[in-house]
Amino acid sequence: MRAVGVTEFGGPEALHLIDVPAEPLGPGQVRLQVTAATVNPTDTYARNGTYAGRDPVKEFPYVPGMDVAGVLAEVGEGVETDLEVGTHVMGIVVPSGAHGGYREDIVLPARSIARVPAGASDAAASTLPMNGLTARLALDLMALQPGQVLAVTGAAGAFGGYVVQLAKTEGLTVVADAAEADEDLVRGLGADVVVRRGEDVAARIRERFPDGVDGLADGSVQDAAVLPAVKDGGVVTTVRGYRGNGERDLRVLPVLVRRYAEEAEALDRLREQVERGELTLRVAATHPAAEAAEVHRRLEAGGVRGRLVLTF
């Protein structure tokens, strides 16, 4: 079957269409006919070998991709589900070797999928699982209470946007950063206060909240540079493994979405929140899978709002 992957790590040009064998279906698993796979920044690091030391690839080809949507094609032994074959579903993928989202057929744990939100296309639904669950995990780790203040960097991105929207449903006050061109977008997501993004974003947040914020979700990966925005003893969640420097009793918690990769109930709650209008699915553009190299170039060039999606 067709997939998009690399036979050696490199730039976007390393991506090409390849043939991969079908994966066997085991107990507790389901098979999806993939129609859409979202392209995320983490995929570019997987493609260029940045993660090779962390998650060694035993053999090529390597297929990136952590988000998929499509049609439930087969249900394995022992799976208890109300989803029927033929149902449109979305799922989160933990990539390993040729097991990645950029393939037209994939086997996943049954607890890694949920129904596509009513009224949403497969392309739109594919943008939710990984970033939505990462945002959900970040908020769960911080455990802020209604009325507390949360700062979000990278608020115009997929992760940051979901954090803003989820936080507002939970009664938090949200201060978020944005470039001038993105201010209306971030306000539209529900941010109470918007400050200009940049190297001095922590100072800008402190101008509006002199005592510091209770928590911060660092979607723009500024690490130590944004810690001054948080009050002593506050909590920070990071998305690339940063663990802080021990200052001011700050709790710095890396968010590893693999922990939630089989949290079917959490994924289905995200679906419900999309259907209630609490979460916004944002697709920047769709491209045939054969154009994956150009899609990676576009993503790495920056400025993409919403997610780029490969279609099969």
Q: What is the pLDDT of residue 52?
A: 80
The tally of CA atoms less than 13 A away on the side-chain side of residue 237 is: 26
Q: Where does the chain hold its CATH 3.90.180.10 domain(s)?
A: 2-128+281-311
Q: How many CA atoms lie within 13 A of 189 on its CB side?
A: 34
Residue 264: the pLDDT is 98
| Percent share of the chain, pLDDT over 70 | 99
pLDDT at 57: 67
Which residues in 46-78 are b (16+ Cβ under 10 Å) and which e? bbbeebeeeeebeeebbbbbbbbbbbbbebbee
Low-confidence ranges of the chain (pLDDT < 70): 55-58
Start-end of CATH 3.40.50.720 domains in the chain: 131-257
The confidence score (pLDDT) of residue 79 equals 97
Contact criterion met (CB below 8 Å) for 168 and 148 = no
> How far is 7 from 16, CA to CA, in rounded Å?
9
pLDDT of res. 54 = 72
CA–CA gap between residue 42 and residue 208 (Å, rounded): 32
Count of CB atoms situated within 10 Å of the CB of 166:
25
The C-alpha torsion from 270 through 271 and 276 to 281, rounded to 10°, is: 90
Rounded to an integer, what distance in angstroms lies between the CA atom of residue 76 and that of residue 57? 27
For residue 51, what pLDDT is reported? 85
| CATH number assigned to the domain covering 131-257 | 3.40.50.720
CATH number of the domain located at residue range(s) 2-128+281-311 in this protein: 3.90.180.10
Summarize pLDDT for 85-130 with one digit per residue, the tens: 999 999 999 999 999 999 999 999 999 999 999 999 999 999 999 9
AA letter at 155: A
3-state secondary structure of 273: helix
Q: What is the pLDDT of residue 180?
A: 96
